[in-house]
Amino acid sequence: MSKTFYITTPIYYVNARPHIGHAYTTLACDTIARRQRLLGADVFFLTGTDEHGQKIERAAEAAGKTPQQYADEISGEFRNLWKRMGISNDDFIRTTEERHKKRVQELFRQLRDRGFIYKGTYTGQYCVSDELYVDGAQPGDPCPTCGRITETVHEENYFFKLSAFQDKLLELYKNPDFIRPEARRNEVAAFVRSGLRDQSISRSTFSWGIPVPDDPKHVIYVWFDALANYITAIGYGSKHAGAQDAFKNFWPADVQMIGKEIVRFHCVYWPAFLMAAGLELPKAIVAHGWLLFEESKMSKSRGNIVRTETILDVLGADALRYFLLREVVFGQDGSFSFDALVQRYNSDLANGLGNLASRTLTMINRYFKGEVPYPSQATRTPAEDAIAETARKTIREFGVQFDQFQFSRALETAWGLIAAVDKYIVENEPWTLGEKQDDESRARLATVLYTSAEALRIATALAYPVMPDATAKIWAQIGLGDIKKLALADLTWGQLPLGTKLGDVHPVFPRADKSAIERMQQMEEQQRVPAAEEKPVTEVKLVAEMPAPVASPSAPATSAVSDKITIDDFAKIELRVGIVKVAERVPKADKLLRLEIDIGTEVRQVLAGIAEAYAPETLVGRKVVIVANLAPRKLRGLESNGMIVAASLEGGKPVLAGFLEDVQIGARLK
């Protein structure tokens, strides 16, 4: 029986449309799954969507939809996107599916029957955005993960006896493979060593969740519900024999890939739940870093996302897949930029693999009527041995690096082979040999083109998991049929059958020019800024957002508004109290600050032209007034979602509006 291999992505929250940060986790898993399949494993690759909890309930309400409608829509977007990206998942689990709900309840029951769940009262702080209980925090304290203000929760809850697992978890972390990379392992171990408190695992103040068995006033805590997907999807808790077999076959998971911000849930709570249920633990939890855009984590709340569709439309899925795995050192944060994407695409794909394929196969077509030529021993030189040796070494090293999740190094290794063959072709000038008619030149030409084609075959085979579509095309052009049938474990130099008839040869990676960058940037900009015309801010006297002065300094504060407005006009402007959570300078913009302002229902990114009047560090924690329903606009490549209200003094100096009494965050000014 073949070895099984079970790999999972986290399941994605449906409060945000997918962006390339999400795509990163999924495609890293996809490449591993594809490589394992070629190595002969019986692979199960799982992804899905996380659809319950207060965060989703509130997002749906804000969008005027039921949580289920809202979840259906965004879950569908994830599924469609994965299809377009060539993601080869074997299942897609949604936490609102019946199969999941029943099995989560079964897990809850198990833990309760085994004495690890009890009823108690929770009073403390909760971060809705991270769906996280923040131990030790006081009312008004920010969430340690996202910085948003926590909410005070006072509820009767079910508790999980997490404290009983402290020693067992520390013992578990001694296995260096369980949490990777090591930095994350150390972080988690330090957290556990500092002491674990029992964890509330139900909520009773809202209803969008899976009811606690036998006590439906409570819904199961969304992280308990979500983490369980890794076993419910493969049949845990099912009464059907077939589903139970799948669970027996695939659990424990071989790799559970996550982003670094959800390490604690996966490396503390998850193994503790499994231990409590008497189940085996996953073999490895692997945490990657973040994809940054414009210097900060790409995320909806920061308004700095890049949509995957834009890149797919312009350069295709393989370009994105290659770029993300090649450019980002796995485990560390990595920056995304359209310039870097196009540069990599041209240098490594159009000029690298693509050019090697088209020049080698075109010459075989031209000089050998489209059949892989027989290399001649008589004309063999040390250069061929060197290429063969480089190829063997590449196969070995690529495998080790890839299986250690060092994708960028593995690709660098494979592209080292491509560079060596390019150099070999240039030095041996097959085009010159092709012009000569003597037997020796022809024999030498056959050797050079065979060597090039064989190296191309090997580079293509190695690159398949990362670029399934383009490599499948090159494989077919070499005349090798379906690349999915390749037995990767046996890949070695010299397997290209002599006389193989090439398929139709055409370029796989056409060069991209500068206009590709502009097109992608424009597509993103159009998505971000609604078509509505922007009104010049100088019309509203008391608003400071743009770097330009907000009003003519000599004019009295009301004179610029020429016509009177009605109370209904005024009611259209949504002024709200917010609190500054993050304030930082915008590089290369002297007057501009980037602020993250919590307005109660969400955190907004606002760009304000107040940097000359306020040092960023003096603003954090300060309450401000913002115009909350202003159409977003882009400044210096960053989206501004609202304006802060300020008086404009003579000389244009802004003074932020404030209150003498304490005011509630989110309160509306009328």
- Min CB(47)–ligand MSP separation in Å: 10
Looking at beta carbons only, is 13 or 70 nearer to ligand MSP? 13
Q: Which stretch binds ligand MSP (CB under 6 A): 79-87, 258-266, 349-357, 580-588?
A: 258-266
Looking at beta carbons only, is 300 or 380 nearer to ligand MSP? 300
Residue type, 647: A
Looking at beta carbons only, is 25 or 310 nearer to ligand MSP? 25
CA distance 91 to 100: 13
- Do 333 and 311 touch, CB atoms closer than 8 A? no
Single out the residue of 5, 6, 7, 11 in contact with ligand MSP (rule: CB under 6 A). Answer: 11
Single out the residue of 5, 6, 7, 25 in contact with ligand MSP (rule: CB under 6 A). Answer: 25
Q: Is 24 in the site for ligand MSP (CB under 6 A)?
A: yes
Burial class of residue 73, CB neighbours in 10 A (0-12, 13-18, 19+)? middle
Q: Which stretch binds ligand MSP (CB under 6 A): 20-28, 236-244, 517-525, 543-551?
A: 20-28
Q: Which residues of 293-311 are buried (b: 16+ CB within 10 A; e: fewer)?
A: bbebbbbebbbbbbbbbbb
Single out the residue of 5, 6, 12, 158 in contact with ligand MSP (rule: CB under 6 A). Answer: 12
Looking at beta carbons only, is 290 or 345 nearer to ligand MSP? 290
Structure tokens at 230: 């890794």
Structure tokens at 519: 């097109």
CA distance 41 to 288: 24
Scan residues 32-91 and list those touching ligand MSP (CB under 6 A): 50
Contacts of 531 (CB under 8 A, 6+ apart): none
Scan residues 463-522 and list those touching ligand MSP (CB under 6 A): none
Here's the x/- map for ligand MSP, 280-299, by CB under 6 A: it reads as: ----------xx-----xxx
Single out the residue of 67, 142, 259, 271 in contact with ligand MSP (rule: CB under 6 A). Answer: 259
CA distance 270 to 252: 13
Please state whether the peptide bond connecting residue 616 to the residue before it is cis, i.e. omega within 30 degrees of 0.
no
- Do 60 and 67 touch, CB atoms closer than 8 A? yes
Q: Is 331 in the site for ligand MSP (CB under 6 A)?
A: no
**Residue number closest to ligand MSP, CB atom:** 259
Here's the x/- map for ligand MSP, 262-281, by CB under 6 A: it reads as: x-------------------
Single out the residue of 132, 246, 258, 474 in contact with ligand MSP (rule: CB under 6 A). Answer: 258
- Min CB(230)–ligand MSP separation in Å: 7
Single out the residue of 6, 10, 184, 576 in contact with ligand MSP (rule: CB under 6 A). Answer: 10
- Min CB(229)–ligand MSP separation in Å: 6
- Do 371 and 502 touch, CB atoms closer than 8 A? yes
Scan residues 550-589 and list those touching ligand MSP (CB under 6 A): none
Scan residues 299-328 and list those touching ligand MSP (CB under 6 A): 299
Short-list 537, 387, 399, CA closest to 452:
387
Single out the residue of 5, 6, 7, 22 in contact with ligand MSP (rule: CB under 6 A). Answer: 22
**Number of residues lying near ligand MSP (CB under 6 A):** 20
Here's the x/- map for ligand MSP, 174-213, by CB under 6 A: it reads as: ----------------------------------------
CA distance 556 to 548: 18
- Min CB(530)–ligand MSP separation in Å: 23
- Do 201 and 221 touch, CB atoms closer than 8 A? yes
- Min CB(116)–ligand MSP separation in Å: 19
A 10 A CB-CB count for 483 gives 18
For the chain, the distance separating the N- and C-terminal CA atoms, rounded to the nearest angstrom, is 71
CA distance 29 to 350: 25
Short-list 359, 432, 364, 423, CA closest to 390:
423
* Long-range CB contacts for residues 552-561, cutoff 8 Å, separation at least 24: 553/648, 553/649, 553/650, 553/651, 553/652, 554/650, 557/647, 557/648
Q: Is 28 in the site for ligand MSP (CB under 6 A)?
A: no
- Min CB(270)–ligand MSP separation in Å: 8
In the complex, the residues that contact ligand MSP under the rule CB under 6 A are: 10-13, 21-22, 24-25, 50, 226-227, 258-259, 261-262, 290-291, 297-299
